[in-house]
Chains A and B, each alone.
Chain A
Amino acid sequence: MNNKMKLEILSKSENESFARVVVSAFATQLDPTIEEITDIKTAVSEAVTNSIIHGYNKDDEIIHILCEIIDNEIIVEVIDYGMGIENIEQAREPLYTSKPHLERSGMGFTVMESFMDSVTINSVPGVETKVVMKKSIKSIKSY
C-alpha cells in the first residue's frame, strides 16, 4: 500500500494532541496493534513538542507534518523553520535538555528512538529542522 498526507499546524501546544491523533488515524490503514499506535502517538508528540518549545518558543509559527505509507512502513516527517539544533549529538543524549528550568526530562529523542525503528535529524539552524521517523507495522493485512 502507498499513501501520503500533509498536515500544517500552528505551533500551539493545543495542537500536540491534534497532531498525534491525526498521524495515528492515518497509520490505522496499516492495521497496527494498540501498542504500535501508542508508539507512533508518543513519538509524534515528542517531535511536535520539540518544534514548539525548542524550535519556536512562539505559538504562531508553522509546523509541517508529512506522512507516507510505503508497503507496511509509515514514515513521519516533522518540520519546523525555527532556531534549529546546533549540536545534534548532544540533543540526542538521554537526559540532555537545553531548558532545565522548564522541568523538561530531556528524553524526547530517546523516546522517539525507542518507540520508532529509526530516527534521523537534519537541522540548518535558523532555516529548517526536520525529524524523520520510520516504523514498520508488523500486523499488516495482505492485499
Chain B
Amino acid sequence: MNPRLLIVLALLVAAPASAAALEGQAERQPINWVAIAMFLAFVTLTLWITRRAAQRTRTASDFYTAGGGISGFQNGLAMAGDYMSAASFLGISAQIFADGYDGLIYSTGFIVGWPILLFLMAEKLRNLGKYTFADVASYRFAQPPVRSFAAASTLLVVCFYLIAQMVGAGQLIKLLFGLPYGYAVIVVGMLMMAYVLFGGMRATTWVQIIKAVMLLSGATFMAVMVLAQFGFSPEALFRRAVEVKTDLALAGGAAPDAAAAKGLSIMAPGNFIKDPVSAISFGLALMLGTAGLPHILMRFFTVPDAQAARKSVLWATTWIGYFYILTFIIGFGAIVLVATNPAYLDGEALRGGGNMAAIHLAHAIGGNAFLGFISAVAFATILAVVAGLTLSAASAVSHDLYATVIKKGAADSADELRVSRITTLALGALAILLGIAFEKQNVAFMVSLAFALAASGNFPVLVMSLLWSGCTTRGAAIGGTIGLLTAFVLTVLSPAIWVNVLGFTAAPFPYSSPAIFSVPAGFLAIWLISLIDTSPRAAIDKAGYPAQRLRAETGIGASGASDH
C-alpha cells in the first residue's frame, strides 16, 4: 500500500485525538535540542503549577472540580485544550497537504457537537451534577445500576481514547524529539500521573489552558505568516497551491489536462466520503459523541453556575472553530511552502512521514527555534489530553463505583480522594503498559470507537434522563448498555477491525462508523425498556422527575462553588 493511501485510510477512521494520523512511517529523527529545551520549559512551568495546586487540593471537591471556582472563560479554554489534539493539528493539516479540501470535512464534524451540547444539556448538567456526569444520569434513579453503567462506559471510552493517545504520543515524540518510543510513552505516563495525582483538576485545568494558549498562538503565527506571503488574500494562496499541485502532477508524467484537473481537485471534496451511510454515520458519531465524552462533561462541574457553564461552551466553540480555520490555512501553506522545497522532501514523500507537513512548515516559516516550539506544543497537547482523560476515569472509579456503589454514599472525602489517587496510579501504569503493548498495532479505530461509544451509550442516557419523565432505572441502565454494546459489536465487525486488525477478507458490517444504527438502538432500547418497566422502582423514578426538572431548570439546590 502506498504511504499516502495509508494516511488517508488512517484518517478516515481517525478522530481529533487519533493516533492514526501519527503512525505509519514514524522514523526516528536526530535529537532536536531546541524542541527538548522548549518542552522542558513547559514541563517545569506545569510542575510548578502542580505544586501550587497540590497545596490547595485537600478535599474531593478540589480534586474533581478544582473547588468549582474556574471561570467560564478559563473553562472554555481548558475545554478547547481537552479537545484540540496533536492529531487534529498534525493529521488534519497533513490531510489538507495531501488532498486539499477533505481536511475541512473533519473539522466541521468536530465542531458541530458543541452547540448541541450547549442547547440540550450544558445548563442542566451544571445544575444537577457535582463531580461526574453519572451524578446527572443517575439523579432520580436507583444509584447502583445507573452508576455502574456510567462508570463502565466512562472506563471503556477513556481506555480506547487513552491507548490511541499513548501510542500517538510515542510515535510523535520519536519523530519530533528523536527519543526512543518506550521512553516517550513512559515520560508521558509519569508526567500525566504527576499532574493528576498531586494537582487534581486544578493542575489539569491549568495544563490544558497553557497548552491551548500555546497551540492557538503557534497556529495563529503560522497562519498569519503564510497569508502574509500572499498579501492576505486566500484566493492568491489557493491559486498558488493549485499551481504547485498541477506542476507536481506534470512532473509526475501526467498529461497537461489531467494535471490541471488534479491541481484543481484540491479545491473540492474528493474521496473522503465514499458512501452516504458511512458519511452520515461518521458525522453523527462525531457530533453526538462530543456530547457524551466523560472528560468533556466533567469540565462542566468546575464552574460555579449554569451561566458560567454556558459561557464556557461559547468560548470553547469559538477557540476550537478558530483553530480549525487556522489548520485549513496551515495545510494550504504547507502545499505552497513545503511541497516545493526539496529540503523537506524525500523523493516525492515528506521527510519523516506524511504527518510532518505542519512541522516542516514551522521550520520553513520560523527556522529551528519555531520548529522546536511547535514540537513542544505537540507534546504538551498530548499531555493535556491524557491528563483530562485519566482524571475522568479516576473520578468514575472513586466517586461512582467506590463512594456511591460500594460505600453507599458513606465514604468520607479523604477516603474517596485516596481511592482516586490509587486509581490514577493504576491507570498511569496501565496506560504506559498498553502504550508499549500497542506500539506496532493499528490503533486508528480506537478514537472513532470512543466517539461512537460515547454517542450510543452516554448521550442517549443523558438525554432521556434529563428530558423524558418516563425514563426509569432499568431503561437507563439496560438501554444504555444495549446502545454501548451495539456500537462496540458493530465496530468490531466493521472493516477497521475485522479486516485491518483481525485480517479477515470481508467485513460483515460494511460502514466505517456504527453510529447511524447504534445511536437509535440506544434511544429505542431506553424508551422500550422504560415503557414496559412496571417495577416499584419505576414508579419512584417517574415520581422523581418534577424535582429533578425544577433543579435542572432553576439551579435551586445546585451544588455550590466551593464547600470550604
Q: Are A and B physically bound partners? A: no
> Which residues of A are in contact with B by a Cβ distance under 8 Å?
none
> Which residues of B are in contact with A by a Cβ distance under 8 Å?
none
